[in-house]
Amino acid sequence: MIYSLGEKKQAPAMVKRTTRSGVPVVAVLASTSAAFAGCAANYLAPRYVFETLLSTTGTMALLVYLVIAVSQLRMRRDLIASNRLRVRMWLHPFLGLFVVALIVLAFVVMVCGQAHRSEVVSTLGLSAMLAMTGMVVERRRRKRPS
């Protein structure tokens, strides 16, 4: 994954270096190092790491599905216009809007309850920060002369 991000200029250029046989060594080493760091953190603070991962995965999954649903709603018109729409979704746009509404409602319920508030707020906050950082980087990249 990090190799792919390097190819799209969304990660440092060094991660897309490959050996003569095509192995992205730096990307593999970086990913492996991150996995070992996660294992070490889990060994040093097992309860905290496990609970954090367990509680944030649900929020992240909902966020991913929300982004997919919104993207599908926004991009469909362009795909139809360019004759590139391959899979048609039935009940468009109503089903997509319904899914978006349900996911937003799930976030609201999770924020209103005490049990998952911190996970939802921190996940959404960090995701918003990453999205803004990505937009700033992309804007700067476009302004730079090639």
**Where along the chain do its domains lie?**
1-44, 47-146
User: Residues 66-71: what's their mean pLDDT?
Assistant: 93
User: Residues 31-35: what's their mean pLDDT?
Assistant: 92
Distance of CA 69 to the CA centre of its chain: 13
- 77, 140 Cβ separation under 8 angstroms: no
Span 99-127, pLDDT tens digits: 999 999 999 998 998 888 888 888 899 99
pTM for the predicted model, two decimal places: 0.67
Half-sphere exposure of 75 (CA within 13 A, CB side): 13
How far is Cα 37 from Cα 26, in angstroms, rounded to an integer? Answer: 16
- 17, 24 Cβ separation under 8 angstroms: yes
Task: For residue 47, count CB atoms less than 10 angstroms from its CB and return exposed for 0-12, middle for 13-18, buried for 19 or more.
Answer: exposed
- 96 pLDDT above the threshold of 80: yes
Distance of CA 104 to the CA centre of its chain: 17
pLDDT at 98: 96
